[in-house]
């Protein structure tokens, strides 16, 4: 009897022990089955007057702050430990040299490759000039350059630090995605702003989608909401810092959802303007409209994303048309004034010092696949035709991020390149490019996306 009792006790103990092991195993498995995410943000408003980027007509440095500029970082990790980080910033765009330095430092310090990093900008035209960007536009003196370099160096350090903080703050999370819609963006090549109120219909291609990514903690609290829109942040031309309508939208969402960080990315909006524009109340109105569109999506059913992630990146060598000769540049310099004269002088200096002007440019493109949510990422000032074509390739729910990793110039469609005007031709001078793009760049970029997707095992609709 004692033997039976002892055996029952042993069996009970063994059963309890294995039940405990099973309980621990189940809990560990459940904890590992979700995403992990961390989000951090930091004010990047300059603390002294500095020249502002975006408009060639500016004639003096900044004169104050309407609302703060921000850098924000979202770090995510999937079930297999794959990590990635999205950085959004209230600046006009990252120039190539700065972007490369930041991404190199992130790789060295945190082990993330180019494919795992997105450096995006809201493209606000009420933000600071950065080093090596748009220098031909403004009559910058030594003191101006000192301030710009100091700010740019500080910005690089802040972003690298911010990424580390986001990675260190990751907690179990759930990700959701969906698209909303808003319609204040107007195709500026096909509609006249001054007579817009008289029009009964809008002309030209557009992308009214509002892509939304929601990040929740394991207890259902919203950690971050990432959203975008394909429309120039050019409502304002004032001399006070702001994120334009995108800044107001982010502020509005953080009022609606206390504790959450809102992050805006620019879509393919290079030929799309908010219309009408030029007043602070209009920027506030568009911010509220965009925030309302995002809030509606957040309150409705969204698609939960499986905790798997794939990231891929490449650079497409885009050819430029033949550069002007020394004689042509000299003639242009002597006949022009303002930024056009400065452009010609700088091109002549490069030509004499380096022996030749660049004939091509390494253009960055990228794909993230979060669960089944495709995110296509492109550099430069991307016109709307690219969003339309990428959604044909990867589906209408695709998120398209422009102005990312390197903003080197406008990226026109083949049609716009042929038509010329600002987006297809003269904007190249603003960015310090020696000439326009060679025809066929749209096909090269889209073909590179197809090839990159196929090599990564990402299906596209054209298959």
pLDDT tens-digit readout, 170-214: 999 999 999 999 999 999 999 988 888 888 899 999 999 999 999
Which of 208, 205, 216 shows the shortest CA–CA distance to 180?
208
- Quick one: 76 and 142 in the same domain? yes
Tokens 């942040």 belong to residue: 233
- Quick one: 368 and 353 in the same domain? no
Structural domain including 258 reads 35-310+364-418
CA 368 remoteness from chain centre: 13
- Quick one: 223 and 339 in the same domain? no
- Quick one: 335 and 273 in the same domain? no
- Quick one: 332 and 374 in the same domain? no
Task: Give Cα separations from 213 to 119, 298, 386 (angstroms).
Answer: 17, 9, 21
Structural contact between residues 119 and 404, judged by C-beta atoms closer than 8 angstroms: yes
**How many whole angstroms separate alpha carbon 427 and alpha carbon 436?**
9
- Quick one: 222 and 341 in the same domain? no
**How many whole angstroms separate alpha carbon 430 and alpha carbon 92?**
13
- Quick one: 283 and 218 in the same domain? yes
Tell me how far apart the terminal alpha carbons of the chain are, to the nearest angstrom.
74
In a domain, 318, yes or no: no
pLDDT for position 339: 87
Burial 203-224 (b: 16+ CB within 10 A, else e): eebbbbbbbbbbbbeeeeebbb
pLDDT for position 204: 93
In a domain, 159, yes or no: yes
Q: Enter the tokens of residue 44.
A: 């990047």
In a domain, 428, yes or no: no
pLDDT for position 246: 98
- Quick one: 347 and 368 in the same domain? no
Q: Count up the domains in the chain and report the number.
A: 2
- Quick one: 43 and 117 in the same domain? yes
pLDDT for position 56: 86
pTM over 0.85, yes/no: yes
- Quick one: 351 and 370 in the same domain? no
Structural contact between residues 94 and 53, judged by C-beta atoms closer than 8 angstroms: no
pLDDT for position 422: 87
- Quick one: 176 and 250 in the same domain? yes
Region of residue 90 (left: phi > 0; alpha: psi -120 to 50; beta: else): beta
In a domain, 6, yes or no: no
In a domain, 423, yes or no: no
Residues of the chain with pLDDT under 50: 1-32, 463
**How many whole angstroms separate alpha carbon 442 and alpha carbon 15?**
66
Q: Is 336 exposed, middle or buried (0-12, 13-18, 19+ CB in 10 A)?
A: middle
- Quick one: 388 and 275 in the same domain? yes
């Amino acid at each position: 009897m004692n033997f039976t009792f002892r055996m029952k006790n042993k069996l009970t103990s063994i059963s309890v022990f294995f039940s405990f092991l099973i309980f621990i195993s189940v809990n560990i498995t459940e904890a590992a089955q979700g995403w992990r995410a961390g989000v951090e943000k930091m004010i990047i408003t300059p603390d002294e007057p500095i020249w502002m980027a975006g408009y060639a007509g500016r004639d003096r440095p900044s004169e104050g702050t309407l609302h703060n500029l921000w850098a924000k970082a979202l770090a995510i990790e999937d079930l297999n430990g794959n990590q990635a980080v999205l950085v959004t910033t209230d600046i006009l765009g990252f120039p190539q040299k700065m972007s490369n330095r930041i991404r190199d430092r992130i790789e060295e310090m945190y082990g993330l490759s180019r494919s795992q990093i997105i450096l995006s900008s809201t493209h606000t035209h009420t933000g600071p000039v950065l080093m090596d960007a748009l220098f031909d536009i403004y009559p910058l003196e030594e003191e101006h350059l000192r301030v710009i370099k100091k700010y740019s160096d500080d910005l690089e350090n802040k972003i690298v630090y911010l990424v580390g903080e986001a990675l260190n703050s990751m907690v179990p999370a759930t990700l959701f995605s969906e698209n909303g819609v808003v319609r204040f963006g107007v195709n500026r090549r096909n509609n006249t702003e001054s007579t817009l109120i008289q029009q009964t219909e809008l002309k030209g291609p557009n992308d009214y989608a509002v892509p939304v990514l929601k990040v929740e903690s394991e207890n259902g609290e919203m950690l971050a909401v990432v959203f975008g829109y394909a429309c120039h942040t050019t409502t304002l031309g004032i001399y006070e810092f702001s994120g334009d309508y995108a800044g107001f939208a982010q502020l509005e969402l953080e009022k609606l959802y206390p504790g959450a960080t809102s992050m805006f990315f620019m879509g393919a909006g290079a030929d799309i303007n908010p219309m009408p524009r030029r007043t602070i109340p209009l920027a506030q109105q568009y911010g509220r409209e965009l925030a309302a569109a995002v809030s509606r999506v957040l309150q409705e059913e969204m698609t939960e994303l499986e905790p798997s992630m794939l990231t891929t990146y490449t650079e497409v060598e885009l050819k430029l048309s033949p550069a002007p000769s020394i004689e042509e540049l000299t003639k242009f310099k002597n006949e022009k004034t303002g930024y056009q004269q400065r452009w010609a002088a700088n091109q002549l200096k490069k030509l004499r010092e380096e022996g030749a002007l660049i004939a091509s440019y390494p253009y960055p493109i990228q794909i993230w696949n979060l669960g089944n949510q495709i995110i296509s990422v492109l550099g430069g000032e991307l016109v709307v035709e690219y969003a339309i074509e990428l959604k044909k390739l990867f589906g209408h729910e695709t998120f398209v991020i422009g102005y990312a990793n390197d903003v080197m110039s406008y990226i026109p469609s083949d049609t716009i390149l042929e038509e010329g005007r600002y987006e297809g031709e003269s904007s190249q001078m603003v960015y310090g490019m020696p000439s326009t793009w060679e025809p066929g760049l749209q096909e090269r970029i889209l073909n590179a996306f197809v090839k990159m997707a196929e090599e990564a095992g990402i299906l596209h609709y054209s298959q």
